[in-house]
Structure 1
Amino acid sequence: MAADRTADVLDATLRCLLRYGVRRTTVDDIAAEVGVSRSAVYQYVRGKDDAVRRVADRLHRRALTHAREAAVADAPLAERVHGILSAKVELATGPFTESPHATELFDEQARLCGDICREFTDELHSLLTTSLAAEHIDRPADAARILLATTIGLLSTGRPDLLRRATVALLGGFYDHHTAYPSMRSLP
C-alpha cells in the first residue's frame, strides 16, 4: 500500500464488523477485504481494536457534524431539535439496519468504543440544552434528556420514523402554559 489507504482499511473494517461482529472480525479479515497482506494493514492501524475504535469515532464524528449544523441552522426550534436528534438516528439506520452487529459500534456500554458513544450523546445533550435555553424552555437540560431518551426509545422499537412527530409533541409540552407556543404545522 504505497498511498495512504487508511480510509480503505477503515471502510473494510466497517464491512467486516457489520458482517461478523467485533469479536469475530480479525485483522486477516480486514486485510482480505482490502486485498492486501496482514502486515500492510498494520501500516495504518495498530490492530483490530484500534481499527474498531477509529471506525466508531469516524461514524460518530460524521453524525456530530450533522448535529452541529442543525443546531446553528436558521430554522424554527422544532427543525433544529429534530436535526440534532436525527444525528442519533443516522448512526442506527442506513447500512447498519441490516446488521445484527451494528449496535456493537453504537452501544454506550461497549468495551471498545463505549466512551466514544457516551461523548457523542453528551455532545448532543449539550447542543440540545443550548438550543432549548435560547428559546427560554424551562429546565432545558432536563428537556434535552427527555428528547434523547425518546429518540433512543423510538430506535429501540424500530420506529425512528416517528421522531419528527415526537419532537413536535414534546416541544409543545416543554413550553410554559402561559407562553404562546409557535405553530409546528409548517414542518414537513
Structure 2
Amino acid sequence: MSEAENSNRRSTILDAAFRTFVAYGFKRTTMADIAAAAGISRPALYLEFKSKTDIYRAEFVHLLDRANQATRDALMGEGDFSSRLTRAALAGTIDALRNIVDTPHGAELFDVKQEIAEDLGRLWFDRMEDDIARALVDAEAKGEITLASSKMDPTTFARLLVSAIEGIKLRMTDCDSAEADIRRLVFLMTRPLIN
C-alpha cells in the first residue's frame, strides 16, 4: 500500500471513528462499530490501531492539526490585525468545538479527553501560542501594531490570550456565548496595540 493510500485509509478510519464516537459515545463505541463505519474488517482496523483509545488520540491529533491550520490561515488572511486574530482564535477553538458540543455525547467526549488525551490539549496550547506570537512579530514588522504599548513581549501576550481563551472554553455553556466572549477578549487585548 502506498503512503498516500495509507494516509487516505487512516483518514477514512478517523472520520468514521468521529461519527461513531459522537453517535454512541466513547464508552459504548466498539472497534467493530468503527470498522463497520469505515467499511473495513475488524482485523484490518487492528492493523492500523491497537485500541479505540489509540483511535481517539489519533482523532484528537487530526482535529488539532485542522484547528491549527485554520488558525494559521486566519492569521495570514485579509483584514486588520485584530480581525485576523479574532478569526484565528475562533478557528482554533469554537469552530472545532461546534461539531462536538452539540452532539448527544459531547460532554462524555470532553471528559474522555481529560483522561486519555490531556497531553494533546497542551500541544494545542503550545501551537496556538507559537502561531499568535509569530503573527504579533509579523504585524509589528509591517507597522500594524506596536507591542511596546502592551508592555508585553509576543510570547507573553500569546500565552495570556490563549490561557484566557481556555478559561472561556472551560466555563462555556454554549458555543455562541463563548464565541462572543472570545471576540470581546481579543478586542480588549488588541486595542492598545493598534497603531
Name the TM-score, length of structure 1 as normaliser: 0.76
2:95 aligned residue: 90
CA RMSD of aligned residues (A): 2.7
Contact map agreement 1:18 1:100 (CA 8 A) in 2: yes
- By how many angstroms is 1:13 displaced? 0.8
Please list every run of 5 or more consecutive structure 1 residues that lacks an aligned counterpart in the other structure. 176-180, 183-188
Deviation by residue 1:64-105 (Cα, 9 ceiling, x = unmatched): 011112223353210221122111112211x21222544566
SS of 2:115's equivalent? Answer: coil
In 2: Cα distance, 1:103 partner to 1:60 partner = 18
2:30 aligned residue: 26
Give the counterpart letter for 1:75 in structure 2: G
1:167 aligned residue: 186
In 2: Cα distance, 1:105 partner to 1:113 partner = 11
SS of 1:111's equivalent? Answer: helix
- By how many angstroms is 1:58 displaced? 0.6
Name the TM-score, length of structure 2 as normaliser: 0.73
Give the counterpart letter for 1:21 in structure 2: G
In 2: Cα distance, 1:165 partner to 1:113 partner = 29
In 1: Cα distance, 2:61 partner to 2:48 partner = 15
The higher relative CO (CA closer than 8 Å, separation ≥ 6) is in 2
Give the counterpart letter for 1:122 in structure 2: D
Whichever structure has more helix as a proportion of its residues is 2
Contact map agreement 1:72 1:80 (CA 8 A) in 2: yes
Please list every run of 5 or more consecutive structure 2 residues that lacks an aligned counterpart in the other structure. none
